[in-house]
Structure 1
Amino acid sequence: MKDQAEKLRLRLNGNSEVKTPKTLAVVSGKGGVGKSNLSLSFSISLALKGNKVLLFDMDMGMGNLDILMGKSSEYSIVDFFEGTISLRETIMEGPEGMKYIAGGSGLSHLVGLNDDLIHSFLDELSGLINEYDYVIFDMGAGVSEATLKFILSVQEIVVITTPEPTSMTDAYAIMKHIHLMDSSIPFYMIVNRFQTEKEGQQTFLRLSNVLKTFLGRDVFCLGMVPDDRAIQLAVRRQIPFILFNQKSAASKSMKQITERYMERQFSQLPSTHTSIHFVSKLKKFLFER
């Protein structure tokens, strides 16, 4: 009884341990590799496992998550930066209980906003993200000064590539850029649109070997998604492919990726990147002079 009373007292006083979400940035070196599509189905797959998921569209000026879901979002992050609504009001309901924030061109001017507005954004974000198990940032292709600050603040980075040589080269380039800024953030990789199992494995091995040779870094294979016609049909019908055909090869691969990620099935698994809260890190980067 004494222990229960103590726990209740701490909870009422706001001193109980606060759950912090796992924060991930999904990146690619170039556009057109299916990054947003994978981010969306990965988020839905996590939600189907009983997790609370928030997917944040950070593809500045080119956000398309709502289009992939066949939705017309009432609000986007731009509305918040224009002072129209609160950050919580930008959160929209997605499939299977997952939540998302639609993107907009306002984020491209994040570094130029006044300090009061940025502080307001960070304060509201801090109060929101602890309500989720996973907060996933679907970043735009490549990297900019503004988006790099978000990427460096997350706990883990998922890199999307395809077997195309240009995609692989650009994937390495973005990992190298991030590595030079912070060599401790774990890299995970998803190989998308492979034609054969051998091609997918070779793609990962080539990038893994280059990363190890030139940067001394490991990258962990999260999984591979085949070039599946079901994805093309799902995009046309504006239905996330994980829901369009759950028996398709792509859907099965995404389910395996989700299980592998949640169960942390990796050799030499990296320790948690940092105990510093995402918003605290982001605030430091944004106000660095």
Structure 2
Amino acid sequence: MSNNTTNGDVKKTQRIAVISGKGGTGKSLVTASIGFVLAHCGYKVLLVDMDLFTGGLTFFLSGLSEKPDRISRGLLDVFADKYEDKNKDNQNNCKIDKIKISHQFVDGNLFLLPSLSSRRRNVSELTISKDVSTLPQIMNILFRDVIGMEESFDYIIFDTRGGSDITSVGSALTCDKLVVVTEADKVSWDTGRILLDAIEDAWNAYCYDDPFPGVGFILNKNVLPPEGVETYLKKIWSAKHITTIPLDRDAIAYFQEDKMPIVEDISCEFSEAIVTGIGDFFDVMVGNSKISERYINLRIKAREKK
């Protein structure tokens, strides 16, 4: 299933940035989980690891790749080469390896653009200034080398670096929807607000002709009564609540073992919250219905075959 089909489910490629005000909130596992759910339902999904300094999503998913060592060029290489290029007018296309994630439940529908290549080049080679004037250059690279692939996919999902990093802001400026992954602490809330303000300021400067992306949030690893936190975040972020994921030690253990919780245990708290929330998110914010029901039915059938 691709966005070129006429089934009516997806009318155009949806671009989504998964962001957070600080690191460690669980963005990479959430991003991978969203990708697995959509791919398992038959949609073509491209995950883009824009955490150029850590590459958590790349490392996590590389264990599921048919050829994890074949990454010869990642996004870090593209950005570093671009910024080191003395010829600012050089518009040569920078090829990035697109890895098919080989897994029985995604059936060739899930792909990854890795942040890091097998070269493991030193991050210091990436000389990106925090000056906002470099945002157009970042956006240009993303639109040319990443968004240019969108005709082949139903969804392009960016996993970004925590904080108000210029690459995170640049990724958000290319997307239709923003998903903030947060924890129930004041640092997450305040830094999340700072990041959203930075994105809005940059949007007004560079994307003023387009409507600002819809914003939703996922409250992750929660141990507090969720209602008050959800209401507070809706107010201070002007965002929709997607789902609240309780602190799930089983899910953490699966992640540490390089396994997908939503594949290993559909009934664990993490899986239930993700699958139900994804269904609500795509119904309300993207216009794609019944994702959660379809995924759950497919997983039930898969278990019955075992």
User: TM > 0.5 between the two?
Assistant: yes
Measured at CA, do residues 117 and 158 of structure 1 come closer, stay the same or move farther in structure 2, by a change above 3 Å?
closer
Q: Within 5 Å, which residues of 2 pair with 1:38-57?
A: 38-57=30-49
2:268 equivalent to 1:248: yes
Tell me whether 64-73 or 252-261 shows the greater mean CA deviation.
64-73
Offset, 1:107:
9.6
Note if contact 2:15-2:175 (Cα within 8 Å) is conserved in structure 1: yes
> Residue 59 of structure 2: which of 67, 75, 87 is its match?
67
1:189 CA displacement: 0.5
Deviations 1:119-154 (A, max 9, x none): 787444344122111100101011233432221121
Distance in 2, Cα, partners of 1:154 & 1:219: 16
> Offset of 1:62 from its aligned partner?
0.5
Comparing 89-98 with 169-178, greater Cα deviation is found at 89-98
Query: Any idea what the Cα deviations from partners look like across 1:166-218, whole Å, max 9, x if unmatched?
Result: 1122112212222333372221100001125xx2222221122223xxxxxx3
- Corresponding residue number in structure 2 for 1:101: 113
TM-aligned CA deviation for residue 45 of structure 1 = 1.1
Pair 1:148-2:181 in alignment:
no
Distance 1:128 1:24 in 2: 14
TM-score by length of 2: 0.68
Whether contact under 8 Å (1:55, 1:137) holds in the other structure is: yes
Offset, 1:106: 8.7
User: Partner amino acid for 2:281?
Assistant: Y
Give the match for residue 189 of structure 1.
217
SS in 2 for 1:187: strand
Q: How many residues align?
A: 241
* TM score, norm. by length of structure 1: 0.72
Residue pairs, 1:104-119, within 5 angstroms: 104=116, 105=123, 108-109=126-127
Q: Counterparts of 1:116-155 in structure 2 under 5 Å?
A: 122-155=143-176
Q: Partner of 2:226: helix, strand, or coil?
A: helix
CA distance in 2 between partners of 1:46 and 1:134 (Å): 8
The correspondence for 1:90, drawn from 92, 98, 106, is 98
Q: Structure 2: 5+ residue runs without aligned partners?
A: 5-10, 83-92, 117-122, 205-211, 288-306
- Is the contact between residue 67 and residue 238 of structure 1 (CA under 8 Å) also seen in structure 2? no
Which position in structure 2 is the counterpart of 1:230? 250
Query: Using a 3 Å threshold, how does the CA distance of structure 1 residues 94 and 172 change in structure 2: closer, same or farther?
Result: farther
